[in-house]
A and B are shown apart, each in its own frame.
Chain A
Amino acid sequence: MSAPAIDAARDHARRLEALARIWSNAPGLRGQLTAVNHGTIALRFVVAGLAFMLVGGLLSMFMRLQLAWPDAQVLEPERYNQFVTMHGTTMMFLFAVPIMEGFAMYLLPKMLGARDLPFPRMSAFGWWCYLFGGLFLYSSLLFDAAPDDGWFMYVPLTDAIFSPDKGPDFWLIGVTFAEIAAVTAAVELIVAILLTRAPGMDIRRMPLFAWAILVMAFMIALGFPPLILASILLELQRAFGFVFFDPALGGDPLLWQHLFWLFGHPEVYIIFLPAAGVVSMVVPTFARRPVVGYAWIVLALVSTGFLSFGLWVHHMFAVGIPLLALAFFSAASMAVAIPTSIQVFAWIATLWAGRPWLRLPMLHILGFLVVFVLGGLTGVMLAFVPFDWQVHDTHFVVAHLHYVLIGGLMFPLFAGLYYWLPLVSGRIPSESLGRMAFWLVIIGFHLTFVPMHLTGLLGMPRRVYTYSPVLGVEWLNLLSTAAAFVLAVGIVAILVDVGLCFVHGRRARANPWRAGTLEWAVPVPVPNYNFASAPRVEDAYPLWHDPGLRERAARPDGLLGDPARGRRELLGTGIVSARPEQVVFLSGSSWLPLACAAVVTVLLAFFIAGQYLFSAACLLPLVALFCRWAWTTGWPGGPASVEAGDGLVLPSQYASRNAPGWWAIVVTMLIVGSLFASLVYAYFYLWLGSAEWPPLGMGDAAPGPLHYAVPAILVVAWAGGAAATAALRARRHRRRRVVAPAMVAAGAAIAFVALHLWLLGASLGAPQAHAYASVVWTLAGFCAVHLAVAALLCLQVAARVGRGLVDAGRPLEWRIAHAFLRYAIVQAAIGWAVIHLFPVLQ
């Protein structure tokens, strides 16, 4: 080897060592508690998700034992209700959604050719919230207060009269807490997919898993807020006596059902689409050819994402809604079968046109195709209103939903688990134990759930601890119970097999399945930074056409290969074109995510204990921690532009137009907007069912001049924000000219909040008096909270401008604060118009 070659090799070794040091977690327990790296966090999601699956599955085994015979006495009726509730809640909120997010968080950066997700501390915060939220929910068992009202928490069963215990509170608070993880993951994943793809990976070349996760994340952003809002409303009713769902005081119990299912149906597709994404990755590899109909699958994903929001009333066909309204939802329920079938046909066509290789992951894909298609067919049957009326609330629906969810999630999940196992473990799973487990699962599954179609058709009700012997379904139930144990043994065998693979599996060579996508270009064992240099791609299956890519990406001499700055760096690319646009400096390991989640836990524990003052007091440390978080994000005071390697000079995120932070605030506004829209929907829903609005003697039917003057304060806040932006844009800006109007904007926002709430207090009275007062107070409070957050953001950024950390060359943070300020002002203006103008104009 020549001397220059030796020098280059030494330089590479030094760079790789530096990269490993920069991206490593701290040692020991401290390192585990402060870790923010996507690989570490994502694997925790997967492991915890599987653990919750086992617990949820255990509950269902007890339920099956209870139903094995009509007079079985395994569980008391109350305990059975608790188990039904916790089984559904666990599987939906603590297993299905988080585990797919875990898959996405682990795989996406690797598939996209990135080093990490764009907001590592947020990933870690989401993880702690998920863990603490799940444990919070399960802690109800310690207090003998496990929720027992079903995973759908229908009112009035869950209001303070019919459920005076703390069960529903544990559910509402625990689930909402765990949902923080889903929402933060949605922001994270959308921004990662839009902005951190490898150079050259334009929208034609994105892995289909990324498309599926993109659609899923947008669905979470729009679909979770209705449930979060509904949970807040019900908790306000239970804790403080607000009335949203009590008809005696102008409320409506159906409002809960609408909000719940407005989340609940998209939830099914939030679970299914990532699984479909897994299938679209596994099938081409084992068919040994590119997927057939790439554009058709993208079409199916996008259209399913939208159509799934038009199905929610099909869970409410039996509540007495006019037929035409039912027909709209029935039609959408049938229409959604079209894009789903397009995907199924595309997968079959890929297998047909390829040379299928029947290894373990592929076996689970075949299981998926059979089970999911059967579930889809009973879904189309249930979309017919008259048929639904016949089998509503029977075990036919239980059979259908398990065919869809186990078919649509579990089989692809196991396929994915086996498929990516060599990447995580560096070892190949055993075919023998794995195949036996697969057959146990598929036989056990069918024998468990096929009989339920029959018991349902014969009239056996669901969610009930027993059934009448007159129905003649004893033997079918006994068969279901026996087979459920076969299914359970199969699932445990799969997990044991996967666990054993880490210890006894045969060492895998690189890319053992000969896949074409970028995650297989990562070295094994996987370094925390994934790629030493950002890879460049030129088609959808780069490893099939560019054999040298793997080696180039592992060499630290390409884009971002030189870690001279000692920072965690990520390459940002164009949203559609994927051309290099910016260098993103990421935050490293930190205690902040754990500390924030711990304070939230204490806050919620005080709340559920009825110690509202202590609970409110927790807001102070929480806000302080979040301010600290915002102050220390990324590289405070980092440069405006940097050398990115390959002779490329790029702006840092602080100077980039498409900075991750900017897109995060855009997605956040989408989420908050969905929350606000749900609240406005609740207002108009209650109005629609009311005889008089506002009720006699309540509210200000003819608002005074002061009411109309209040919005003028919002104009001042708007002008302050605009002035600060103009001053920042000026070529030679002075800090004072930015700071002063930003503070004026913050002050005006707070002034609006104070004056508006004071005026409402004077004219409206207590929120407990009527649904009108409850919803108006909630609307005003919602707008007030957002204005307060916007004011806080303005003050924080003003302080940073004062310190010289934000300026004309690095305006990102002010752009974020200003965007949220404008959003909060527009939201407050709409809220004001709904509260004060609508009653006059109606």
Chain B
Amino acid sequence: MSPARRPRRLVWIASPFAIWMLHFVLVYSIQGLVCARGWPLAVAWVGMALVTLPAFAAVAWLGLDARRRAASADAAGEKRFAARLVAMLSLLALLAMAFTIVPALLLNPCE
């Protein structure tokens, strides 16, 4: 008996927005924690930055890597399709994360 083959390509397709979701939950949780517990606001700024920068980097890497794979000549049809999809999803996920984080630059976390 061997373990089940994982559907790596489906997980790959889901990954850009899974990172968006994780980023969203973490940023919202940091804001909630800082305000409910009365922690210094600096914790919110630093925490959000520490979450946001790696999230942007990870999605950007996913997108660029997928774009490279989609462009490679030896990719089979279904693989090329998945790569194109991941590249496009990464772009949209980056946009959605930017949408999320812009208010944090403009508003006080606990007002």
Contact = CB atoms under 8 A, between A and B. Distances in A.
Interface string B1-33: 111110101100110011011001001100111
Contact of A310 (B21, B103, B110): B21
B111 A204 contact: no
Contacts of B88: 295-296, 299
Nearest to B37: A688
B99 A658 contact: no
Nearest to B3: A657
A306 interface: yes
B72 interface: no
Given A306-B18, A306-B20, A328-B28, A335 B95 contact: yes
B107 A202 contact: no
A296 B111 CA distance: 39
A575 B10 CA distance: 9
Contacts of A808: 1
Contact of A203 (B37, B81, B96): B81
Given A204-B77, A324-B109, A688-B32, A307 B96 contact: yes
Contacts of A305: 17
Interface in B81-108: 81-82, 84-85, 88-89, 92-93, 95-96, 99-100, 102-104, 106-108
B36 A689 contact: yes
Contacts, number: 120
B64 interface: no
Contact size range, B: 35 or more
Contact size range, A: 35 or more
Interface string B33-48: 1011100000000000
B1 A811 contact: yes
Interface string B57-93: 0000000000000000000011001101100110011
A526 interface: no
A331 B28 CA distance: 12
A657 B2 contact: yes
A808 B2 CA distance: 11
B111 A322 contact: yes
B97 to A, nearest CB: 9
B89 A302 contact: yes
Interface centre among B10, B95, B99 (most CB of A within 10 A): B99
8 contacts: A295-B81, A296-B88, A302-B14, A330-B103, A335-B99, A335-B100, A575-B7, A576-B10
Interface of B: 1-5, 7, 9-10, 13-14, 17-18, 20-21, 24, 27-28, 31-33, 35-37, 77-78, 81-82, 84-85, 88-89, 92-93, 95-96, 99-100, 102-104, 106-111
Interface of A: 194, 202-204, 295-296, 298-299, 302-303, 305-307, 309-310, 322-325, 327-328, 330-332, 334-335, 338-339, 575-577, 657-658, 662, 688-689, 725, 728-729, 808, 811, 815
Given A310-B20, A323-B107, A323-B108, 15 more contacts: A202-B77, A203-B82, A299-B85, A303-B92, A306-B20, A307-B96, A322-B35, A322-B110, A324-B104, A324-B108, A335-B96, A338-B96, A576-B10, A658-B5, A688-B32
